[in-house]
Amino acid sequence: MDVTPFATTERRWELYRLLGEPVRLRLLALAAEEELAIGELADLLGESQPNVSRHLKVLRGAQLLSERKEGTRVFVRLDERLARDPVIADALGAGRSLCEEDGSLERVAEVLAAREAPARAFFEAPGDEPEAWPSELGAYLAALAPLVERRGFAVDVGTGDGAFLEVLAPIFDRVLAVDRSEAQLARARTRLSRRGYTNVDLALAELGDAHLREQVDARGGADAVFASRVLHHASRPGAALSDLAQLVAPGGVVIVVDYVAHEDERMRERQADAWLGFAPKELAGYARRAGLEGARVTKVPASRCGDGPDGHLDWQVLAARRAA
């Protein structure tokens, strides 16, 4: 294979030389386990960021790691193809052993959970009364409902205070609204009571919970699964989209509403965002890897996104279908 500059016989010895450093072996193993930020790697290894950056520079220079910038953070990961190289495969094995010994491999799950911790705290905090939509919105949507071909059962993941339910409840016969925050579900319950919607069930669950999957499977899967501004709070957006795909019935659709990639670092503090949006190709790639077909991404300019704390950002809508 010709992936690294050291793949040729003449320079093969340089690959052995640069992989002879234990810190680099551990970095390589952790980057193979998960895409991680430089600060996260430093925490896992108990090393200073400058020292980690120095070793990462060597690994990136050898094209063993690729990097992705996201705002002020830099994430690194190992190209899966490299694991087929016998020398690198041996280095990964040695690095995993070192990481298992020092416990850093086991702590990767803690790092991923820490990414979502600010979002959990943000949505559990007391908030204002649910924002009201135009009072006649439900009537207008009910008039449009017959145009939707499959509208028996929808799932709204990350329903929050239930704002999106004001759109879904008039259209679908039944809606399951899911959130991991009891505080948010209480706000959604208030909204539903105010509007008189009785066709919505609320569920306290994490995306990926077995009992949530069982509840949806018991109904034959959903005709449509929605996730509005959810992925940018997920520690692993690609895995989250795969979990969404597991909830939809054959022939059904997954609809994701999220931000176009941006550089407003203030959103991390203001809204507890883990990610600063996504490139359209990135969203489409997540959908394909989740086994969905016909992924289409449509941009929604900021002028249509309201006057909330994220109303200055461009949004986008991903629509993809599970094979019939």
Q: The CATH number of the domain where 34 resides is what?
A: 1.10.10.10
Q: Mapped to the 3 state alphabet, what secondary structure does 272-293 carry? A: CCCCCCECHHHHHHHHHHCCCE
User: How many other C-beta atoms lie within 10 A of the C-beta of residue 182?
Assistant: 10
What is the reported pLDDT for 262?
A: 97
What integer pLDDT is reported at residue 7 of this predicted model? Answer: 52
Looking at the fold, whether 90 and 210 belong to one and the same domain comes out as no
Residue ending a domain, among 57, 83, 106, is 106
Q: Identify the domain containing residue 43 by its residue range.
A: 9-106
DSSP letters for 8-39 = SGGGHHHHHHHTT-HHHHHHHHHHHHS-EEHH
Looking at residue 87, what is its pLDDT? 87
Specify the DSSP class assigned to residue 231: G
pLDDT of residue 1: 43
Give the pLDDT of residue 253. 97
In a domain, 276, yes or no: yes
pLDDT for residue 34:
93
User: What pLDDT does 309 receive?
Assistant: 93
The answer to whether residue 305 is domain-embedded is yes
Residues 176 and 285 in one domain: yes
Number of domains in the chain: 2
- The terminus-to-terminus CA distance of the chain in angstroms comes to 38
In a domain? residue 46:
yes
SS3 content of the chain, % helix, strand, coil (to 5): 45, 20, 35
Pair 196, 76 in one domain: no
pLDDT per position as a tens digit, 161-186: 999 999 999 999 999 999 999 999 99
State the 10-residue block means of pLDDT for the chain, 324 residues long: 52 78 94 94 94 93 89 90 86 94 94 91 78 76 89 97 95 97 95 94 96 96 97 96 98 97 95 95 96 97 93 96 93
